[in-house]
Amino acid sequence: MFRRKRNVLNRSKLRDVVLLSCFASALVYGVSSISITVGFVMLVSGCFLHVVAKGILIRNIVLCNRGLYKVVRHPYYLANYLIDSSFCVLSGNPYLLLVYPFLFFWAYGPTLRTEEGLLNERYGAAFLNDSFMIPQVFPDVASVKGLGKLFDGFSLKRITAKECSRVARFASMGFAITLIHELKREGLSGLKHLLIPTRHDYDEFIFVLVAITLLFLGLVFAQVANNNSAGTVRRP
């Protein structure tokens, strides 16, 4: 059996480190409108891949190698890479963006080795064949051709409240990082616009409204997921 080794920096800790670094960086570094656009494109793409991967995955029952799983073997991790990288771009800190790939493989390396070892044990030759044909995390020129059947095997029934909660929280963090840049640029006067926007300046107010709405939705979906989980456990 393959046992997951303890790692100082795991996936959940990496997300926390990235977010704290991005919030701090937004107070120091500036960000251009192009960077904001690129950051949100990456964020939306990552959230999109998260949902598609969840809608295709049938865990521990079949070897998933259709749709998005024919492009990369671990689309969840590709989605997380895009999401975390988008936070780095939105923070305006170029050094954080350069360091993140190393942190990603440090945090995800042990998990990838463990999961692939388990898949090899369970599916044998079928998994080995996929490992030769399908890239691990990042698509290559050949696998990108599989994007034409991106939704093959996808079902909305597999999209859980927990997944919706994750995506809403990811989006709210992107808006929160951008909001720090807006407030830093306008100083204390920007705080006033959060609650009392002027006729010609709704930027900060809209960003706060969107961020709070997404965060609230994330909490609501998380509560629904917890209730569903508790109800499942209580069944005889």
Domain CATH code at residue 139: 1.20.120
Count of alpha carbons within 13 angstroms of residue 89, beta-carbon side: 19
Residues 140 and 166 in one domain: no
pLDDT tens string, the chain, 236 residues long: the values are 445 556 677 887 899 999 999 999 999 999 998 998 999 999 999 999 999 999 998 877 888 888 899 999 999 999 999 999 999 999 999 999 999 999 999 999 888 988 899 888 888 888 888 888 999 999 988 888 878 888 888 988 888 888 888 888 888 889 889 888 877 776 655 555 555 555 555 555 566 666 666 666 656 655 665 665 555 444 43
79, 46 Cβ separation under 8 angstroms: yes
Query: What is the full DSSP assignment across 83-101?
Result: HHHHHHHHHT-HHHHHHHH
Does 2 share its domain with 85?
yes
pTM for the model: 0.82
Q: For residues 227, 217, 25 and 200, what is the CA-based torsion angle, rounded to 10 degrees?
A: -170
Q: Is 64 in the same domain as 175?
A: no
- Taking the C-alpha atoms of residue 85 and residue 139, their distance in angstroms, rounded to an integer, is 16
**Tally of CB atoms within 10 A around 120:** 15
User: How many distinct structural domains can be found in the chain?
Assistant: 2
CA distance 111 to 105: 10
Beta strands in 95-194 (DSSP E): none
Task: Please choose, from the candidates 182, 200, 199, the residue with its C-alpha nearest in 3D space to the C-alpha of residue 190.
Answer: 182
**41 and 145: one domain?**
yes
Report the alpha-carbon distance of residue 149 to residue 56 in Å, rounded: 12
Looking at the structure, tell me whether residues 146 and 206 fall in a common domain.
Answer: no
pLDDT in tens, 174-213: 988 988 887 777 665 555 555 555 555 555 556 666 666 6
Contact 86, 40 (CB under 8 A): yes
8 shares its domain with 122: yes
Token pair 């609501």 in the structure block, residue? 220
Q: How far is CA 153 from the centre of its chain?
A: 21
Last residue of a domain, one of 155, 174, 190: 155
133 and 223 share one domain: no
Using CA atoms, how far apart are residues 20 and 13, in angstroms rounded to an integer?
A: 11
CA angle 125–127–129, rounded 5-degree value: 70
Same domain, 110 and 224: no
Looking at the structure, do residues 192 and 125 belong to the same domain, yes or no? no
| The last residue of a domain, from among 106, 136, 155 | 155
Range of the domain at 171: 160-236
Residues 145 and 166 in one domain: no
**At which of 137, 155, 173 does a domain end?**
155
